[in-house]
């Protein structure tokens, strides 16, 4: 049977009983019994635990345990026949319990061989979704796609009219999102849509994407340099969050082009609070600046890996837009390439963002070994409200004077993107590196409100001589503030974690 996992039980309830004498399971309160059973895979609950007694059977069938399930199919086998059996078990399970399932998470790792078995597997997936659609209770569907090729929506999605949230995430290098989005047009209740790695959409680049117009959150990721369609953004007047991403890890000339129409229409979204643009070339900088200036309610702006038009390499328009964004509470600038002057020399307009609570700046890779400039000198009053700060190592070192002068009484979270090993090959560089860590732990010790320090390191930073300085700094920081949580993480994961906190706070999800 496919592995079905229910959500973890009420940890607070478990903690209340952790010091109590161990009682027999029969004497446990019903709520605690359900909390314990929630930690078992649903398959084990329904085929084993439910057979113990009638009380356990009722507990295993509690709606609280069937409201959210996760199905993992194919991960332990590459045998198509066995995968078919797992999906048949999932189908039988949904035939009985689909009416209780409000959130379904599918993780599909299915072997591809182009055979009849493959077509039967696709049909079984569609039948499982049809059961959820017929029951009319499933509100959230999350699909992790680990299979070769595109995850096609199929006609089953037209029946999922109760969906309010849909996420499809291709996880492998050769897996992609759906090519035909037409089945989504009938999902009138859909509010949150996240589709990644869209490639070869069955729509002309001049056509609008036919998506539900009631969306409040839209995240689309595109793959490859082929032109992407117009978004028809004015139709989504209720959007609170918009994320548009091009390809990651491609050469600059392989990035997709951000349509001028989409860029000009950004200013027509009156309710937009969160905007993220990542991985596009030939960005019309002037139009983008004008649109940002029109978004008077914008609270979080993320600009990552953008390349401006050749005739407009300057970020003057964006600086003017920042000056007009008086409600902006979060700002992320990362690897902006031709717009890199916003990073290597952050604009003085930042000082006008007096409402800013979260700031993350990471320098483009090509400037790491050459130059770097810190936060704008002058008034530091705009930093007083910061609760989250994320800087790459070079920008941090160049900002020492500004940070020493600034008063940051509310700062709770600090992210430092650690340097690459190649930057500190000489003894002189090593000494500067040690001095940098010495300054950092002294500065951290002077900010008692800090609760978390994320040290984001590169993958090849293990077993390097210079990493000793990092470990020594961590020990000193912990000695200065034992309550401080220090986490080592990969660079991408650390930056994503801090940005996720910003988004959650902006949209009221924290």
Task: Using DSSP bridges, classify how beta strands 358-362 and 330-334 pair: parallel, antiparallel or unpaired.
Answer: parallel
Kindly provide the b/e burial profile for residues 254-276, where b requires at least 16 CB atoms within 10 angstroms of the residue's own CB: ebbbbbeebbbbbbebeebbbbb
Residue 331 near residue 359 (C-beta atoms within 8 A): yes
pTM of the model: 0.83
- Going residue by residue through the chain, which has 510 residues, state the pLDDT in tens, using 9 for 90 and above: 344 433 444 444 444 544 444 446 667 788 888 888 877 776 677 667 777 888 888 888 787 777 888 888 877 666 777 888 888 888 988 898 889 899 998 888 876 666 677 788 888 889 999 999 999 999 999 998 887 778 888 888 888 999 999 999 988 777 888 888 888 888 999 999 999 988 867 665 555 677 898 999 999 988 876 667 777 788 899 999 999 988 765 566 677 777 777 888 888 999 999 999 988 887 877 788 888 888 989 999 998 888 765 544 455 667 777 777 778 999 998 875 545 455 455 667 778 888 899 999 887 654 444 455 788 888 888 899 999 999 988 889 889 999 999 999 999 999 998 876 555 555 556 677 778 888 988 899 888 889 999 988 765 555 455 566 667 777 777 777 788 888 888 888 888 889 999 998 888 764
Q: Give helix 467-480 / helix 427-445 axis angle, nearest 10°.
A: 20
Sequence-separated (6 or more) residues with CB below 8 Å from residue 141: 103, 104, 105, 106, 129, 132, 160, 163, 165, 166, 167
Give 479: exposed, middle or buried? Use CB within 10 Å, 0-12, 13-18, 19+: exposed
Other CB atoms within 10 Å distance of the CB of residue 95: 14
Residue 297 near residue 323 (C-beta atoms within 8 A): no
Tokens (6 digits) for 249: 């890890």
Sequence-separated (6 or more) residues with CB below 8 Å from residue 118: 80, 110, 112
Ramachandran quadrant class, 282 (left: phi over 0; alpha: psi -120 to 50; beta: rest): left
Going from the C-alpha of 313 to that of each of 261, 306, 342, 428, 441, the distances in angstroms are 20, 11, 11, 35, 38
DSSP secondary structure letters along 442-501: HHHHT-TT--EEEEEE-GGGTT-TTHHHHHHHHHHHHHH-TT-EEEEEEHHHHHHHHHHH
**CA torsion angle for 31, 36, 37, 42 (degrees, to 10)?**
120
Which 3-state string (H, E, C) describes 21-35?
CCCCHHHCCHHHHHH
Residue 240 near residue 272 (C-beta atoms within 8 A): yes
Tokens (6 digits) for 205: 């680049």
Task: Using DSSP bridges, classify how beta strands 3-5 and 68-73 pair: parallel, antiparallel or unpaired.
Answer: antiparallel
Architecture of domain 387-510: 2-Layer Sandwich (3.30)
Q: Which residues pair with 388 in a beta bridge?
A: 358, 413
- Residue 368's pLDDT is 42
Detail the DSSP E strand segments found in 188-247: 192-198, 217-222, 241-245
C-alpha 168/C-alpha 454 separation (Å) is 29
C-alpha 355/C-alpha 281 separation (Å) is 30
Q: 326: helix, coil or strand?
A: coil
Residue 45 near residue 53 (C-beta atoms within 8 A): no
Residues of the chain with CATH 3.30.870: 387-510
- Residue 401's pLDDT is 92
For the chain, report the end-to-end CA distance as a whole number of angstroms.
36
- Residue 33's pLDDT is 84
Residue 162 near residue 186 (C-beta atoms within 8 A): no
Which one-letter DSSP state was computed for residue 38?
T
- Residue 17's pLDDT is 47
Q: 111: helix, coil or strand?
A: coil
């Amino acid at each position: 049977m496919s592995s079905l996992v229910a959500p973890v039980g009420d940890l607070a309830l478990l903690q209340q009983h952790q010091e109590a004498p161990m009682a027999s399971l029969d004497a446990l309160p019903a709520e605690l019994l359900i909390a314990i059973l929630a930690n078992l895979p649903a398959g084990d609950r329904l085929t084993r635990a439910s057979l113990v007694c009638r009380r356990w059977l009722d507990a295993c069938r509690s709606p609280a345990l069937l409201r959210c399930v996760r199905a993992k199919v194919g991960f332990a086998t590459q045998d198509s026949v066995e995968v078919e059996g797992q999906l048949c078990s999932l189908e039988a399970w949904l035939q009985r319990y689909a009416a209780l399932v409000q959130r379904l998470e599918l993780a599909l790792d299915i072997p591809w061989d182009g055979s009849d078995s493959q077509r039967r597997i696709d049909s079984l997936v569609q039948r499982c979704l049809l059961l959820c659609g017929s029951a009319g209770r499933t509100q959230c569907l999350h699909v992790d796609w680990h299979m070769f090729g595109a995850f096609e929506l199929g006609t089953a999605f037209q029946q999922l009219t109760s969906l309010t949230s849909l996420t499809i995430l291709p996880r492998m290098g050769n897996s992609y999102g759906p090519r035909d989005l037409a089945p989504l047009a009938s999902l009138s209740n859909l509010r949150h849509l996240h589709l990644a790695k869209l490639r070869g959409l069955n729509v002309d680049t001049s056509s609008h994407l036919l998506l539900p117009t009631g969306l409040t959150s839209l995240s689309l990721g595109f793959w490859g340099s082929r032109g992407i369609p117009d978004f028809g953004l004015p139709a989504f007047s209720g959007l609170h969050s918009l994320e548009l991403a091009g390809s990651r890890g491609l050469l600059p000339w392989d990035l997709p082009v951000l349509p001028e129409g989409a860029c000009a229409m950004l200013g027509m979204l009156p309710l937009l609070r969160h905007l993220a643009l990542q991985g596009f070339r030939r960005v019309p900088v002037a139009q983008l600046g004008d649109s940002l200036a029109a978004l008077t309610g914008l609270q979080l702006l993320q600009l990552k890996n953008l390349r401006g038009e050749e005739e407009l390499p300057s970020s003057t328009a964006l600086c003017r837009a920042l000056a007009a964004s008086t409600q902006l509470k979060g700002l992320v600038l990362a690897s902006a390439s031709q717009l890199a002057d916003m990073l290597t020399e952050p604009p003085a307009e930042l000082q006008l963002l007096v409402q800013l609570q979260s700031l993350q700046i990471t320098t483009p890779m090509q400037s790491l070994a050459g130059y770097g400039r810190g936060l704008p000198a002058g008034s530091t009053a705009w930093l007083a409200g910061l609760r989250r700060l994320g800087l790459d190592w070079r920008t941090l070192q160049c900002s020492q004077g500004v940070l020493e002068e600034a008063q940051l009484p509310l700062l709770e979270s600090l992210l430092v993107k650690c340097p690459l090993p190649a930057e500190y090959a000489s003894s002189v560089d090593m000494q500067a590196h040690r001095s940098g860590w010495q300054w950092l732990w002294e500065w951290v010790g002077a900010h008692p409100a800090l609760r978390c320090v994320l040290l984001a390191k590169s993958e090849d930073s293990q077993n390097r001589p210079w990493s000793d300085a990092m470990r020594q700094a961590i020990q000193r920081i912990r000695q200065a503030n034992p309550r401080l949580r220090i986490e080592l993480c990969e660079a991408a994961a650390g930056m994503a974690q801090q940005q996720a906190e910003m988004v959650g706070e902006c949209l009221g999800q924290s």
